[in-house]
Structure 1
């Protein structure tokens, strides 16, 4: 166990700062955590309630560690949570199979790319994963011992996980399928308060459903899940089954934990796209349990040892890439630096679309002296994530009054928002300005526009 905890911590701490880079979701964490409590609470009533408890936690941490490197304050909780989740996977494997199976499961879990990625992100997913893993461990223990305290602990941890991110509630469905029939009534009595406790958050977040409007159908994600499901089923086939009124079977539990939450999310996505792999990160604990137990059972076979060694070697490039500043969808630090280099006092700045205003929130000096041509109310004043913008005619008037504009845009080829404000930004730039120079950075284009002949 100490060796595996050292591995999980080492992987989490290695390259934790990613050369000082942030990506857009972490910027939201940083911005929300630095709002005063009335503004934070008011914002959660309008948007991002699903992450409210996490933002409150980060607000407290930044209050206590105000003079510490903000990137470390943001990401260390995820590092520690991943180490805790790794320990929980080890104990689950040990209890359901053997000490050797538990150690191999913990090793597999710590190395999974998705786990490594979210061990180093300032978001809630690693914390949710740790809580679900330990809730699962308490569930297995409670089934075996019929101890009321353990059942209460199980429900408490799952409630906390759901309050950090509501899709943790999908773990309840996995547990419902995995517990022995003799204990399903006791499980249901414990699960009911969890569902009731999460209901207000679910109702509020449903009213804020436009937040997930960016999620689309990603065929790669579906294919990846199908491939990993095939691997999980193959591992389960080589494992012995255990049965009894007070026994949880490892294969059943692990398969349910890995497959059920994701499958439910995919089914829900038929009505509205909702599937993002990080929302069900905790499912990787089930996959790791199956891999670890199967490796332990077949470990004496030479081809298994060769395959395991080859897999670890194959993960090295991914492990290195995850610690690079270009490993996320954008690099806000680089984007803000580029805005600062290209913009000059008196220039206008346009965010296209408005949600890209988040790119400059942690670096206000980058836009110092630039006039935000579309801004109506700032994110804090409007109690939103990205601020609000004036009507399209006002944006047009402001743009035509400005000789040079710095446009901060998505990369070429991205879908364009059809709302009036975004349409008028594009229309006026095409009709009345010419492109002077563009600098492409990770996840963005920063372009200086000027009146024809004035570049």
Structure 2
């Protein structure tokens, strides 16, 4: 008897995962640039575990798990832009796979393929796809937990322990990811889950919150490190409102499949609740930065996938052959429209500055016996990321190095001691921003005053947002001549 061969069913993730990986690997080095936030990851990851733990007691406890992870990767693969950014690329690929799997579970293959592929194209995702920071990993954790939630609601399986564990690990990467819990609660209620399901979700969520509570309490004592974030104003809310409006329109366009949990029940809360939740928190403590709720883009991608599927269904009766090409054509059109933005994102000047660019100028300009100063103190990150280029230079303002002080930039001496040390130098290299910003500290004002009064600029170079200036000590002038008595002065 002849058996009909079974059709090979290609997994839905097979399209968005390589697509997202390709987007992430494209221009990964960004002209070998590393900007100041990534420089923090770079230099902390190169410390010992006790050194990292010591620092977390003073600053950046919120990123502690991420720093320990990067310490392990730097130890295995060495420090470099690939090691720095590849975890984010892989994490976003995992997130895209989860979006595809959720889309297929909720509405079918086209919503899965469309949503998973659209995720990698979203501008916010493309920006953080190549960032040496934890936000892509948070997005991946949020995607996995949401997929587990969808599976539990559909199958009634025993996924709640895994769900709680993933939510906890994600919160340890950044506890603002806990904004996903009220979004998931809305999904549970929208699904009409029974009391037992609601109870199991609440128990898993409570365990995750309790596990993250020590980190939340410690990081709240370090809130000064986000004091630079401006207070929330009405125009800062426009972006979240527009994103949620786009998601709502996509939700209206999508049609729920019979007997399935609607895509909108998962995607709309996942998009809206973190966005508006962060706005609410920012009214108490300014925190309104889109990267803190990057994981909300998972919801937008899901809704876009559902809208694309609705368009395919609408076109199928009249254009049966062309309808299957609608999703690839729409994604290709979006890629073409976003190409200028994609190219800009992969350029060094898409970020504030390039920590490494100025180090080549330092290497060329320095001479034996030179001293170095940094204004502000955070610009010391150039020396911490590329110490070989600063070899031989004496950091005359530094009192305690970053590792010993448990800080990112070290502790500097008092202004008077810095002034005395500067006056003992023949040449000083100053590393600073190309365009000064913010109020200078008393130490920085003292540095600038001594340089202006007692030193002369002999070289000045600018490179990708940073500046290095070489100062030489003024030579004492000839003694003043006194007019003879009775003569003209």
2:179 matched to 1:170?
yes
Structure 2: 5+ residue stretches without partners: 1-12, 316-321, 477-489
Correspondence 1:140-179 to 2 at 5 A: 140-148=150-158, 150-179=159-188
Provide the C-alpha distance between the structure 1 equivalents of 2:182 and 2:203, rounded to a whole number of angstroms: 14
1:217 to partner: Cα distance = 5.0
Provide the C-alpha distance between the structure 2 equivalents of 1:396 and 1:193, rounded to a whole number of angstroms: 54
Indicate if the aligned counterparts of 2:118 and 2:331 stay in contact, CA closer than 8 A.
no
1:99 to partner: Cα distance = 1.0
1:413 to partner: Cα distance = 4.8
Provide the C-alpha distance between the structure 2 equivalents of 1:35 and 1:367, rounded to a whole number of angstroms: 18
Q: Bigger shift: 341-350 or 168-177? A: 341-350
1:83 to partner: Cα distance = 0.9
Q: Deviations over 1:417-452 (max 9, x none)?
A: 3x3222222332333334444322222222223345
Q: Work out which of the two has the higher radius of gyration on C-alpha atoms and give 1 or 2.
A: 2
Correspondence 1:33-432 to 2 at 5 A: 33-66=45-78, 70-148=80-158, 150-180=159-189, 181=192, 182=194, 183-217=197-231, 222-240=237-255, 248-299=261-312, 300=314, 309-417=332-440, 419-432=441-454
Provide the C-alpha distance between the structure 1 equivalents of 2:219 and 2:271, rounded to a whole number of angstroms: 25
In structure 1, the residue matched to 2:30 is: 18
Structure 1 residue matching 2:438: 3-state secondary structure: coil
Q: Deviations over 1:127-183 (max 9, x none)?
A: 1111110100100111222223x1111111111101111111111121122212534
Indicate if the aligned counterparts of 2:254 and 2:309 stay in contact, CA closer than 8 A.
no
Structure 2 residue matching 1:179: 3-state secondary structure: helix
Provide the C-alpha distance between the structure 1 equivalents of 2:227 and 2:257, rounded to a whole number of angstroms: 44
In structure 1, the residue matched to 2:21 is: 9
Structure 2 residue matching 1:80: 3-state secondary structure: helix
Provide the C-alpha distance between the structure 1 equivalents of 2:248 and 2:231, rounded to a whole number of angstroms: 25
Q: TM-score normalized by structure 2? A: 0.85
Change (3 A) 1:243 1:274: farther
Provide the C-alpha distance between the structure 1 equivalents of 2:165 and 2:128, rounded to a whole number of angstroms: 23
In structure 1, the residue matched to 2:483 is: none
Q: Deviations over 1:9-31 (max 9, x none)?
A: 11112222223222222222122
Indicate if the aligned counterparts of 2:435 and 2:465 stay in contact, CA closer than 8 A.
no
In structure 1, the residue matched to 2:39 is: 27
Q: Deviations over 1:92-148 (max 9, x none)?
A: 111112210111001110111221222222221111111110100100111222223
Structure 2 residue matching 1:131: 3-state secondary structure: helix
In structure 1, the residue matched to 2:482 is: none
Q: Deviations over 1:231-258 (max 9, x none)?
A: 11221222235798xx643213212111
Change (3 A) 1:435 1:260: farther
Provide the C-alpha distance between the structure 2 equivalents of 1:42 and 1:311, rounded to a whole number of angstroms: 47
Change (3 A) 1:453 1:217: farther
Structure 1 residue matching 2:431: 3-state secondary structure: strand
Change (3 A) 1:435 1:215: farther
Structure 2 residue matching 1:155: 3-state secondary structure: helix
In structure 2, the residue matched to 1:443 is: 465
Q: Bigger shift: 234-243 or 134-143? A: 234-243
Structure 1: 5+ residue stretches without partners: none
Structure 2 residue matching 1:20: 3-state secondary structure: coil
Indicate if the aligned counterparts of 1:262 and 1:275 stay in contact, CA closer than 8 A.
no
Indicate if the aligned counterparts of 1:178 and 1:249 stay in contact, CA closer than 8 A.
no
Change (3 A) 1:224 1:342: farther
Q: Deviations over 1:381-432 (max 9, x none)?
A: 2121111100111111112222332221123251123x32222223323333
Indicate if the aligned counterparts of 1:179 and 1:248 stay in contact, CA closer than 8 A.
no
Structure 2 residue matching 1:332: 3-state secondary structure: coil
Structure 1 residue matching 2:356: 3-state secondary structure: helix
Provide the C-alpha distance between the structure 2 equivalents of 1:329 and 1:27, rounded to a whole number of angstroms: 12
1:63 to partner: Cα distance = 2.5
Over the aligned positions, Cα root-mean-square deviation in angstroms equals 2.4
Q: TM-score normalized by structure 1? A: 0.91
Structure 2 residue matching 1:129: 3-state secondary structure: helix
Structure 2 residue matching 1:438: 3-state secondary structure: strand
Provide the C-alpha distance between the structure 2 equivalents of 1:277 and 1:15, rounded to a whole number of angstroms: 23
Indicate if the aligned counterparts of 2:15 and 2:113 stay in contact, CA closer than 8 A.
no
Q: Bigger shift: 294-303 or 271-280? A: 294-303
